[in-house]
Amino acid sequence: MSKIVNGFSKLNKLEKIDWLVSTYFNNETKVKQVLLQYWNSNPLLQDLHDDFIENTISNFYLPFGIAPNFVINGKDYTIPMAIEESSVVAAASLVAKFWSTRGGFKAEVISTVKIGQIHFMYEGDKAELEHYFASKKENLFKVTEAITENMKKRGGGILDIELRDKTAALKNYYQLHVTFETADSMGANFINSCLEAIASEFEKEDIQIVMSILSNYVPECLVHAEVSCKVEELYAENSELFAQKFVQAVAIANAEPHRAVTHNKGIMNGIDAVVIATGNDFRAIEAGAHAYAAKSGRYKSLTNATIENGIFKFWIEIPLALGTVGGLTKLHPLSKLSLKMLDNPSAKELMQIIAVAGLAQNFAALRALTTTGIQKGHMKMHLTNIIKQLGASDEEKEYLINYFEHKTITHNAVVEAYNKLIGEK
């Protein structure tokens, strides 16, 4: 039976669910219940979420956690994180506390330039195109005035418009490469509106506009964050060896793309969680970060570490195009609350906070990997989850956690130990 449907978007929410349940789930009532149990009991809040996207039928929750004890440029922060992966928030909190007694994190925004491009094809004489561009340039700024007026008041606007010859990469391909300052907004709508206005002013018979769109590769919207301390303050057991192995772990990620991808994935665990919690676009951040990691032509680590004159230094440099106004930031009640928790930061301050969250996460991962291994913490979580599934009492839970302190945790082993325990009662 065909599952193609016409006029689906015109159905109301319940009708959409009914269609889904009858078409894909044999009218199982349980399926409908699963979807309905995630509807918010506050209809206004549910309406708000329904309208974020199209064809909404329910909500998909992510846990919202907080990591306290971050000290960044001398200021204390509790960082909000929305993420489904266990250990990430715990790691952030532990590392925050650790560095809070070693001078905290230092962070600095290097630049905040954003980019948009008008991609077009032109077969004619290049000198003529250059002449046409030069004669039009002032007008290209002028046609965006209505759009840029408010942004200019906030210190932003169009920085420059450049004609770029891309014909070496693709026959007849040129660009208008436009740079922007978007103050506290991420600026996607602003940039795209400016680009479309510029494109229609620039277009003529022999210039075929293919598309106008912002770039998520923003190597000049860059932030640096770091921590440093004396090597002997780094690790209780063998600080020197720990520091050396840590630096080697970063060097391995810089030398080897398979490791670099996992290394950077760990960084993005911290970054995405705060990006989502603050209502920013994590796909844009991901795309830009990984492109930046490959800027040398080989995919590398986003962090670096050194030991010089007995000082351990660990830092990150990452492009982050973020907003603290507009978009979802004030629309989603939890994003609004997250930003308030962070003392309503400017976009620049948020760049610093989020870079720190990534650096902290990478520190936690490398510390675990180069010492106890990552599984110890993960298996502890796994054990707690299995115990929860078994419906164990608090007393049984305590017994099982002690019992597995020095034993290998597998699902079967935990079930066996639990059955033995309740059998003995």
Which stretch, 157-165, 201-209, 235-243, 258-266, contacts ligand MEV (CB under 6 A)?
258-266
For ligand MEV, what does the binding mask look like between residues 340 and 379, x meaning CB under 6 A? -------------------------x---x----x-----
| Residues in binding contact with ligand MEV, number by CB under 6 A | 9
Is 10 assigned a catalytic role? Answer: no
Residue 335 beta carbon to ligand MEV: minimum distance, rounded to whole angstroms: 24
What are the tokens at 310?
Answer: 């007995």
Whether the Cβ atoms of residue 96 and residue 70 lie closer than 8 Å to each other: yes
Closest alpha carbon to 72 in 49, 42, 95, 44: 95
Location of structure tokens 């709508």: 189
Under the binding rule (CB under 6 A), the answer on residue 300 touching ligand MEV is no
First to last CA, the chain: 55
Q: Which is nearer to ligand MEV, 303 or 329 (CB)?
A: 303
What is the DSSP secondary-structure string of 43-81?
Answer: HHHHHHHHTTSSS--S-----EEEEEEEEETTEEEEEEE
Residue 350 beta carbon to ligand MEV: minimum distance, rounded to whole angstroms: 23
Q: Chain-centre distance of CA 32, in angstroms? A: 32
Under the binding rule (CB under 6 A), the answer on residue 80 touching ligand MEV is no
Question: Which amino acid, one-letter code, is at 83?
Answer: I
List Cβ neighbours of 284 (8 Å cut-off, separation of 6 or more): 186, 188, 216, 321
Residue 365 beta carbon to ligand MEV: minimum distance, rounded to whole angstroms: 4
Which stretch, 138-146, 264-272, 279-287, 320-328, contacts ligand MEV (CB under 6 A)?
264-272
φ/ψ (deg, to 5) at 323: -130, 150
Q: Which is nearer to ligand MEV, 322 or 365 (CB)?
A: 365
Is 425 assigned a catalytic role? Answer: no
Whether the Cβ atoms of residue 190 and residue 140 lie closer than 8 Å to each other: no
Which of 150, 262, 344, 419 is the binder for ligand MEV (CB under 6 A)? 262
Q: Which is nearer to ligand MEV, 32 or 265 (CB)?
A: 265
Catalytic residue, chosen from 106, 245, 265, 380, is 265
Catalytic residues: 85, 265, 281, 378
Q: Which residues bind ligand MEV (CB under 6 A)?
A: 85, 262-263, 265-266, 269, 365, 369, 374
